Amino acid sequence: MLKQIGLNSVAELFHSIPEELRLQRQLETPAALSEIELIAGFERMAARNSAAYRSSFLGAGVYSHYIPTIVDHLISRSEFFTAYTPYQPEISQGTLQVIFEFQTLVCQLTGMEVANASMYDGSTALAEAVLMAERVTNRSKVIACGAIHPEYLEVVRTYVQHAGIDFEQLDFDSTTGQASTSLAAILDDKTAAIVVQSPNFFGCVEDVSALAEKAHAAGALLIVAVTEAASLALLKSPGACGADIVIAEGQSFGVPLSFGGPYVGLFATREKFARQIPGRLVGQAYDKQGRRGFVLTLATREQHIKREKATSNICTNEGLIALAATVYLETMGRRGLQEVAEQCAQKAAYAARRIAGIEGFSLPFSAPRFNEFVVRGPGPARKLLDRLAKGNEINGGLALSRYFSDRPNDFLVCVTELNSRTEIDALIEALTVG
């Protein structure tokens, strides 16, 4: 190999690496271990881990919900374990049917007419929605409400920086926590879309219908992002409120936290925009005998067509995670999802009311909420949350100073159906004592 590339030694291969950074000795790798010894070693390492939190109130885009055991059981079956892109319908009917059912469920949840086979996650789905809006309207300006998850906005900016899109971000209303009322003032005939998250990053429910009216009056589209998909089971669907494109993070539907992924992005829109949808679409068809089958109906992406005509360069979907979400949704059913959403909302309301009653604490935003809310404490939120973690083994939430330097005392609290009243009361007590 060295001779083929014109070198005489391995040292020449790494000449660009400074001498002081090179390892000049043999690797100190231990001798091979038996399986028994290896497992015992892992157990000793695991014993050094710190104790887990007794309870967690952390959300901010990733949510802890109960996952029925049937989800892991079914997605671990061998026929799903090594699922591949279903190009050949003759041998992929199971996978294609799951994706078709997934798309149907997404349409029912979002109130839209067509959904794709999934995206990587919520943030990339939002970026693809912005690009799609520019294609549909032939306009280059996109206005984002200021209370969208900051990391979602960062992903969108990365996507559009060379796409010729003027991406503007508005401040949020400091009293309500919702989109600013000054939005209408900057809408014009160059605006492709308004982008809003509801419930937004602060947990506030936006007036999606009013935003849709403003967008449509200017000839623009409304893109709605949802990071807490469980809210779709309780709140009026974005489609019913006038949204044109709806994206969501589907992690809440039977997908574990997993240190940040993999997750699954949901993407739905109106049928008239179907050919502009990114990713792929599975449809149903019938053979000469009238038997129903499933096929990959649409895949307007660069792997299949001319690159300049592609709607997206994402060449896959999150098949296994979409399967998990499908199993979860069909296991829970309409009533089960509503029960989860109601418990989230009711427990969050109880926690918010109790925290607001503690001296020195307040809720700075007045808008309606689902299962997250911002708390303003008497001192720096980071110190407060560190004290809760170390002294009480409670993950009390997210310090907003991570994203908003002008909010050092604010932190975001999330409550789901997994947080018992005992856990909430323990949080209240810990905040009161402090």
Pick the last residue of a domain from 329, 352, 380. 329
- Which SS3 state, helix, strand or coil, does residue 284 take? strand
* 402-429 confidence digits (pLDDT tens): 999 999 999 999 999 999 999 999 999 9
Q: Which residues of 107-138 are buried (b: 16+ CB within 10 A; e: fewer)?
A: bbbbbbebbbbbbbbbbbbbbbbbbbbbebbe
Q: Which two structure tokens, joined as six digits, stand for 189? A: 């005939």
Q: Are residues 240 and 257 in the same domain?
A: yes
Cα–Cα separations (whole angstroms), residue 230 to 222, 290, 331, 372, 415: 21, 38, 14, 12, 12
Contact 414, 60 (CB under 8 A): yes
Between the two ends of the chain, the Cα-to-Cα distance in Å is 65
Band of residue 357 on the pLDDT scale cut at 50, 70, 90: very high
230 has pLDDT over 90 = yes
The full 3-state SS of 8-21, as one line of letters, equals CCHHHHCCCCCHHH
Higher-confidence position of 313 and 109: 109
Q: Tell me, what's the pLDDT at 362? A: 97
| H/E stretch holding 249 | strand 245-249
pLDDT (mean) for 300-327: 78
The HSE-up count of residue 51 (CA atoms within 13 Å, CB side) is 9
Strands (E), 82-218: 114-115, 141-144, 166-169, 191-197
Contact 423, 349 (CB under 8 A): no
- What is the pTM assigned to this prediction? 0.88
Q: Whose structure tokens read 């068809």?
A: 285
Q: Are residues 308 and 344 in the same domain?
A: no
281 has pLDDT over 70 = yes
Contact 301, 275 (CB under 8 A): no
Within-domain flag for 16: no
Q: In what order do the strands lie in the sheet with 191-197?
A: 114-115, 265-269, 245-249, 221-226, 191-197, 141-144, 166-169
Percent of the chain that is helix, strand, coil (3-state, to 5): 40, 15, 45
pLDDT (mean) for 39-54: 85
pLDDT (mean) for 74-88: 75
Q: Tell me, what's the pLDDT at 122? A: 97
Q: Are residues 177 and 100 in the same domain?
A: yes
Pick the last residue of a domain from 309, 329, 349. 329
Band of residue 30 on the pLDDT scale cut at 50, 70, 90: confident
Nearest to 227 by CA among 171, 265, 177: 265
394-395 vs 55-56, strand pairing mode: parallel
Q: Tell me, what's the pLDDT at 307? A: 65
Q: Tell me, what's the pLDDT at 184? A: 79
Number of domains in the chain: 2
Contact 143, 194 (CB under 8 A): yes
Q: Are residues 166 and 308 in the same domain?
A: yes
Q: Tell me, what's the pLDDT at 82? A: 58
Band of residue 301 on the pLDDT scale cut at 50, 70, 90: low
Within-domain flag for 36: no
Q: Are residues 246 and 342 in the same domain?
A: no
Band of residue 257 on the pLDDT scale cut at 50, 70, 90: very high
Contact 391, 430 (CB under 8 A): yes
Q: Tell me, what's the pLDDT at 78? A: 81
Q: Are residues 412 and 306 in the same domain?
A: no
Q: Are residues 408 and 304 in the same domain?
A: no
pLDDT (mean) for 177-181: 92
Q: Mean pLDDT score of the chain, rounded to an integer?
A: 93
* 50-76 confidence digits (pLDDT tens): 766 789 999 999 999 999 999 999 999
Within-domain flag for 40: no
Q: Whose structure tokens read 């170390």?
A: 390
Within-domain flag for 278: yes
Q: Tell me, what's the pLDDT at 182? A: 84
Q: Are residues 307 and 358 in the same domain?
A: no
Nearest to 229 by CA among 419, 374, 63: 63
- Per cent of the chain over pLDDT 90 is 78
Q: Whose structure tokens read 């400091």?
A: 174
Contact 301, 278 (CB under 8 A): yes
Q: Are residues 152 and 280 in the same domain?
A: yes
CA distance 126 to 249: 10
What's the domain range around 138? 69-329
Give the relative orientation of helices 319-356 and 421-433 as an angle to the nearest 10 degrees.
Answer: 50
Q: Are residues 353 and 307 in the same domain?
A: no
Within-domain flag for 48: no
Q: Are residues 400 and 321 in the same domain?
A: no
Q: Are residues 59 and 124 in the same domain?
A: no
Q: What is the CATH number of the domain that holds 266?
A: 3.40.640.10
